[in-house]
Amino acid sequence: MSGFVSFVSSGPGDPELLTLKAADRLRHADVVLYDDLSAGPILDFARPEADLISVGKRAGRASPRQDHVSRLLADHAQAGSRVVRLKSGDAGLFGRLEEEIMVLRAAGIAFEIIPGVTAPTAAAAAAGIPLTRRIAARRVQFVTGHDVTGALPEGLNWAALADAAAVTAVFMARGTFPDLAEQLIAHGLPPETPALLAQGVSTPAEMMHRDSVGGLADSLRGGRPDNAPTLILYGALSE
């Protein structure tokens, strides 16, 4: 008899930000496949008998292939296990969720998706700012800072991203932000536009740095690689 897969969003790192449903699925799982950013105290919610399998991907480190991770999900579910695929932040945001769902659907395996607190909402809360402002910030937009090669993605909507009246959240942004900022400024974004670098949000290693888009790009250009989870917000941020 086939098992069941729960894609569980672990939030940005603080176990107190887990939803009740996420904690329940962890408590009842037979197998937990978890990302690096979902490790630590969040795994304490899993029952002692559960098999915990690390399948995390981090820039610059050896990582399991995506097809291997998807196959593990299907294999454990087909063996009748209750499987939790634990993803950091919200599972539907830049987390390769689609690839894993496609494998489960092809195998006829039932699944559910449990949403969670996103890194941008957690970062804004930690910084004491809203993501939207009634008049000044007319929308929020999320974009990834790099593609599968680690470079700045192609085909970005520069007119939208250079809109200073929006709040833009750039995931996995540290390495490519200087190049991104150069393009943003070239497409009309004022270099003095407020920016916030958020690292290790909601964890003991949390660090917030306020700057301008131009200033932050200058400070990151030529800097040493840093694998810490980093998010950058810029645009109509309140003081």
Range of the domain at 197: 119-235
Residues 108 and 139 in one domain: no
Tell the residue number behind the tokens 């004022």, with chain if given. 190
Is residue 35 among the annotated active site residues? yes
**Active site residue: 35, 87, 90, 163, which one?**
35
Q: Do 13 and 87 form a contact (C-beta atoms < 8 A)? A: no
Residue 168 belongs to a domain with what CATH number? 3.30.950.10
Residues 158 and 208 in one domain: yes
Of 38 and 33, the one with more pLDDT: 33
Q: What are phi and psi of 126, to 5 degrees?
A: -65, -35
Residues 42 and 81 in one domain: yes
Which of 114, 135, 160 finishes a domain?
114
CA angle 113, 46, 77 (to 5 degrees): 50
Residue 81 belongs to a domain with what CATH number? 3.40.1010.10
Write the CB contacts of 200 (distance below 8 Å, at least 6 apart in sequence): 13, 206, 207, 228, 229
| H helical segments located in the chain | 20-28, 66-78, 97-106, 119-127, 158-161, 177-186, 213-220
Residues 102 and 139 in one domain: no
Is residue 90 among the annotated active site residues? no
**Active site residue: 21, 36, 57, 211, which one?**
57
Neighbour count for residue 215 (Cβ, 10 Å): 15
Give pLDDT tens digits for 124-153: 999 999 998 877 778 999 999 988 777 888
Residues 83 and 97 in one domain: yes
Bridge-based pairing of strands 110-114 and 139-144 is unpaired
Residues 94 and 196 in one domain: no
Which of 86, 114, 142 finishes a domain?
114
Residue 223 has pLDDT above 80, yes or no: no
Residues 55 and 135 in one domain: no
User: How far is it, in rounded angstroms, from Cα 66 to Cα 17?
Assistant: 27
Task: Kindly report which listed range (137-151, 164-178, 192-206) carries the lowest average pLDDT score.
Answer: 137-151
Which of 114, 130, 154 finishes a domain?
114
Residues 109 and 124 in one domain: no
Count: domains in the chain = 2
Residues 227 and 132 in one domain: yes
Give pLDDT tens digits for 76-94: 999 999 999 999 999 999 8
